[in-house]
């Protein structure tokens, strides 16, 4: 089956669509561009499906290259038969290809190779002949001993022949395949505390005496055990009944004479214990880890996407607070556009506890700049800082809500060269406060400045291949940025870098041109920017917005390549490009009008949708963040209490929800819904406001169990004000 045929079947596409997608990818088009502006060619595949298509295409081409290399290497040895060639080309995985190549791969010096050097291959072959009794093999062994000074006796000769057979069997593709499947179905993974483990490390206690079938072990447990093993806290092994394994082996070996049974069974047992089991254990654990990493990446990607697409709180002047003890709480005031108006430091927390003086400073800032939202970082001293802010708001009768903001990655960004270039006049600690304030005003624009793996919304993200993690998460960020769109005249270099088709150098060139005092009046002016030619313009233009442009289409997702058709539609219906034009056009037969304009139906419908709401931000349609005006303590919680909260993280075993007590509660997957839940992400997303009930509270261990069963979904009012 060709690569195109395989992809066609996998993605349920027509042959033409499959070929067109491959051509679009090979021509250097970006995934966001293909997904948005080539829908007719792709069968309307979404961004995620196209990324899977591109990954499958790359994998299948690597497979084809590997097949070619293996066939060439075997052919160079003069051992490539037509049957073997067909088997290699029919192999479905790289593992199967490597199994077929294994007998022909150059080997290091082994017991089997040393036995061959002693001339024992004929004896090994004789032992496998179904019509040759053991007595015949013994006579041959005696002959070899007499004619070779290196063989002291027949026992040595037989042992060497058995070593040859053990290696041959371990290299047979059918044997490996059968034993691999047996391990996947029947093996257990066993975990114990290592002898040198630190008794103070309790995070691995549940794995101190743990055993579970490999077929049922959950992804997060694999990653936890791997980490414990790396930290020398755990010992992990795979267990399978060797008798069962040897029986499975023997069913895939050629028949032999009954008199050789005991000797060859011993050889099979040695083959399993010394060669097959260690090799297949390594393979199995690698496969379990790869599967677990894929699952963790899926969780991390979904959480990251939800976090990036949180709706911005527009039109607010924000006081950002980066809590601290000894160094104080850093403050930054930003106007509704994110411009820094003022900064400062207060010391309401120990050791100074200058509460009165700190209160005066905060009140002065609130009144001077008409602050209408306070964003508090959730790191060290956040609990004490939130208490200070809550008391101040309550005592002064202020109508200024506050919310906790994840400051994951803020310190990484504030110490980065990018932050130094953006805020050269501010101390590192003050940059963190600025970042916290801006995360509320536009989460996407601020969070793209941080490496995705530093944002901290994943599950065991530090246990995943760094390159794989970086590549996958960059795709998530890129998809979010291009889904929302970017203001060409205000976007930072970091944000522009994620726009389809823009390299870091091109993004910097755009900002440099703006800094000369020449803001962009239209999309077309991009073509005057160094490093942006026709191809790059084609890829990026539709995702860049120019709100002040005289051309209304420059503030919509309509691509410049379709402007002519929009004006043709305008001429036909007698209305300039506007929401009114979209309304009139919607009353016309869509297919006929699209055909008249020379557009695909999907593209035509996208154009009408874009015209209906120029400048629309898709994030505005999502629930607003939950704001608070008071706080609770974990000791205030009682079973049965109904609370509003915000999902902070989603794992494959449940969701962690911030309910305002400085300790996230866990809604176990079994408590997310009254119906069966395959994945928590089918029910909740990071950043989503939810209504929960308290199941239990363990104050000493700071554990809160929550449920969402039988509870009406939270319906925050327009301000997002929490009931708590």
Say how many C-beta atoms besides its own lie within 10 A of residue 628's C-beta. 23
Give residue 365's pLDDT band: very low, low, confident or very high (50, 70, 90): very high
Does 410 reside within a domain?
A: yes
Comparing 149-163, 291-305, 321-335, the range with the smallest average pLDDT is: 291-305
Range of the domain at 419: 318-441
Q: 525 in a domain, yes or no?
A: no
Whichever domain contains 66, its CATH number is 1.10.10.650
Secondary structure string (H, E, C) spanning 407-449: CCCHHHHHCCHHHHHHCCCCCHHHHHHHHHHHHHHCHHHHHCC
Question: By 3-state DSSP, what share of the chain in percent is helix, strand and coil, each rounded to 5?
Answer: 55, 10, 35
CA–CA distances in Å: residue 565 to residues 38, 347, 526, 587, 596 = 16, 61, 21, 18, 10
Round to whole Å and give the CA distance between 618 and 624. Answer: 13
Same domain, 277 and 169: yes
Same-domain pairing of 186 and 264: yes
Q: Give domain status of residue 469, yes or no.
A: no
For residue 210, the Cα-to-chain-centroid distance in whole angstroms is 28
Length of the chain: 724
Strand pairing class (544-545; 486-487): parallel
Sign of CA dihedral 40, 45, 47, 51: negative
Kind of pairing, strands 402-405 and 188-193?
Answer: unpaired
Residue 224 and residue 143 share a domain = yes
Residue 16 is assigned to a structural domain of this protein:
yes
pLDDT > 60? residue 69: yes
Tell me whether residue 73 is in a domain. Answer: yes
Task: Flag whether 219 is in a domain.
Answer: yes
Bridge partners of residue 486, in order along the sequence: 544
Residue 19 confidence (pLDDT): 96
Residue 660 has a pLDDT of 75
pLDDT, position 485? 94
Write the CATH number for 386.
3.30.420.140
Is 153 in the same domain as 220?
A: yes
Strand, helix or coil for residue 721: strand
Q: Do 225 and 344 sit in the same domain of this protein?
A: no
* pLDDT tens per residue across span 401-444: 998 888 877 778 888 888 888 899 998 889 999 999 999 999 99
- Does residue 569 belong to any structural domain of this protein? no
The reply to whether 70 and 172 lie within a common domain is no
What pLDDT, on a 0 to 100 scale, did the predictor assign at position 460?
67
Residue with tokens 């291009």: 482
Give the domain-ending residue among 381, 411, 441.
441
Strand 665-668 relative to strand 703-707: parallel, antiparallel, unpaired? parallel
Cβ-in-10-Å burial (0-12, 13-18, 19+) of 587 comes to: exposed
Using 50, 70 and 90 to split pLDDT, how confident is the model at 464?
Answer: confident
Same domain, yes or no, for 145 and 55? no
**pLDDT confidence tier of residue 481, bands split at 50, 70 and 90:** very high
Pairing of strands 329-334, 544-545: unpaired
CATH of the domain at 263: 1.10.3500.10
Q: Do 100 and 50 reside in the same domain of the chain?
A: yes
Name the more confident of 368 and 629.
368
- The residue whose two tokens read 């969780």 is 299
When pLDDT is averaged across residues 220-241 and rounded to a whole number, the result is 93
Stretch 464-490: mean pLDDT, rounded? 88
CATH number at residue 653: 2.40.50.140
Radius of gyration from C-alpha coordinates of the chain: 33
Which pair of tokens denotes residue 564? Answer: 């002519």
**281 and 357 assigned to the same domain:** no
Count of domains observed in the chain? 4
pLDDT value for 717: 37
Residues 146 and 283 in one domain: yes
Q: Is residue 227 part of a domain?
A: yes
User: Looking at the predicted structure, is the pLDDT value of residue 386 above 70?
Assistant: yes
- Give pLDDT tens digits for 102-120: 999 887 889 999 999 999 9
Same domain, 94 and 121: no
Residue finishing a domain among 43, 78, 104:
104
Q: Which of 294, 329, 346 is the last residue of a domain?
A: 294
Give per-residue pLDDT as tens, 188-200.
Answer: 999 999 988 888 8
244 and 172 housed in the same domain: yes
**Residue whose entry in the numeric block shows the structure tokens 């289409």:** 553
Residue among 647, 664, 651 at smallest CA distance from 705: 664
């Amino acid at each position: 089956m060709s690569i195109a045929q395989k992809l066609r079947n996998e993605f349920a596409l027509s042959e033409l669509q499959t070929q067109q997608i491959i051509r679009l990818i090979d021509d250097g088009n970006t995934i966001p561009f293909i997904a948005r502006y080539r829908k007719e060619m792709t069968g309307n595949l979404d961004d995620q499906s196209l990324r899977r298509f591109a990954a499958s295409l790359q994998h299948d081409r690597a497979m084809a290259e590997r097949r070619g290399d293996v066939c060439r290497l075997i052919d160079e040895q003069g051992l490539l038969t037509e049957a073997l060639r067909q088997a290699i080309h029919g192999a479905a995985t790289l593992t199967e290809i490597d199994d077929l190549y294994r007998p022909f791969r150059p080997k290091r010096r082994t017991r089997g190779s040393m036995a061959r050097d002693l001339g024992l291959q004929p004896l090994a072959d004789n032992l496998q002949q179904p019509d040759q009794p053991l007595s015949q093999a013994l006579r041959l062994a005696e002959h070899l001993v007499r004619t070779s000074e290196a063989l002291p006796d027949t026992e040595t000769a037989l042992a060497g022949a058995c070593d040859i057979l053990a290696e041959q069997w371990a290299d047979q593709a059918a044997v490996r395949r059968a034993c691999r499947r047996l391990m996947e179905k029947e093996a257990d993974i066993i975990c114990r505390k290592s002898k040198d483990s630190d008794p103070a490390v309790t995070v691995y206690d549940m794995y101190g005496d743990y055993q579970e079938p490999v077929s049922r072990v959950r992804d997060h447990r694999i990653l936890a055990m791997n980490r414990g093993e790396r930290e020398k806290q755990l010992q992990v092994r795979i267990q399978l009944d060797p008798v069962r394994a040897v029986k499975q082996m023997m069913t895939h070996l050629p028949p032999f004479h009954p008199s050789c049974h005991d000797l060859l069974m011993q050889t099979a047992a040695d083959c399993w214990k010394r060669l097959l089991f260690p090799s297949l254990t390594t393979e199995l654990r690698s496969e379990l880890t790869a599967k677990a990493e894929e699952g963790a990446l899926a969780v991390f990607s979904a959480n990251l996407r939800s976090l990036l697409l949180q709706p911005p709180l527009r039109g607010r002047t924000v006081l950002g607070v980066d809590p601290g003890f000894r160094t104080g709480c850093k403050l930054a005031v930003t106007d509704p556009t994110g411009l820094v108006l003022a900064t400062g430091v207060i010391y309401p927390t120990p050791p100074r506890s200058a509460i009165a003086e700190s209160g005066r400073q905060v009140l002065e800032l609130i009144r001077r700049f008409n602050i209408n939202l306070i964003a508090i970082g959730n790191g060290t001293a956040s609990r004490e800082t939130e208490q200070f802010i809550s008391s101040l708001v309550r005592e002064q009768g202020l109508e200024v809500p506050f919310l906790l903001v994840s400051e994951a990655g803020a310190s990484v960004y504030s110490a980065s060269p990018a932050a130094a270039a953006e805020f050269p006049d501010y101390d590192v600690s003050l940059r963190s406060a600025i970042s916290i304030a801006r995360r509320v005003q536009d989460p996407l624009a601020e969070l793209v400045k941080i490496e995705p793996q530093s944002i901290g919304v994943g599950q065991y993200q530090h246990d995943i291949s760094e390159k794989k993690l970086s590549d996958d998460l960059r795709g998530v960020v890129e998809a979010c940025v291009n889904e929302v769109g970017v203001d060409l005249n205000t976007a930072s270099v970091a944000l522009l870098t994620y726009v389809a088709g823009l390299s870091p150098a091109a993004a910097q060139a755009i900002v440099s041109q703006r800094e000369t005092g020449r803001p962009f009046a239209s999309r077309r002016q991009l073509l005057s920017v160094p490093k942006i030619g026709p191809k790059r313009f084609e890829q990026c233009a539709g995702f860049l917005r120019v709100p002040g442009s005289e051309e209304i289409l420059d503030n919509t997702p309509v691509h410049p390549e379709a402007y002519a058709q929009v004006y043709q539609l305008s001429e036909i219906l007698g209305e300039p490009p506007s929401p009114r034009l979209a309304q009139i056009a919607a009353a016309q037969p869509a297919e006929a009008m699209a055909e008249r304009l020379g557009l695909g139906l999907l593209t035509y419908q996208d154009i009408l949708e874009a015209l209906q709401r120029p400048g629309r931000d898709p994030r505005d349609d999502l629930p607003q963040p939950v704001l608070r005006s008071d706080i609770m303590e974990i000791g205030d919680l009682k079973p049965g209490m109904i609370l509003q909260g915000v999902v902070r993280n989603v794992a494959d075993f449940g969701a962690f929800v911030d309910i305002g007590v400085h300790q996230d509660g866990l809604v176990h997957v079994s408590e997310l819904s009254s119906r069966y839940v395959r994945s928590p992400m089918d029910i909740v997303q990071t950043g989503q406001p939810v209504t929960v009930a308290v199941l239990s509270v363990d104050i000493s261990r700071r554990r809160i169990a929550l449920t969402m069963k039988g509870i009406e979904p939270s319906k925050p009012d327009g301000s997002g004000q929490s009931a708590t």
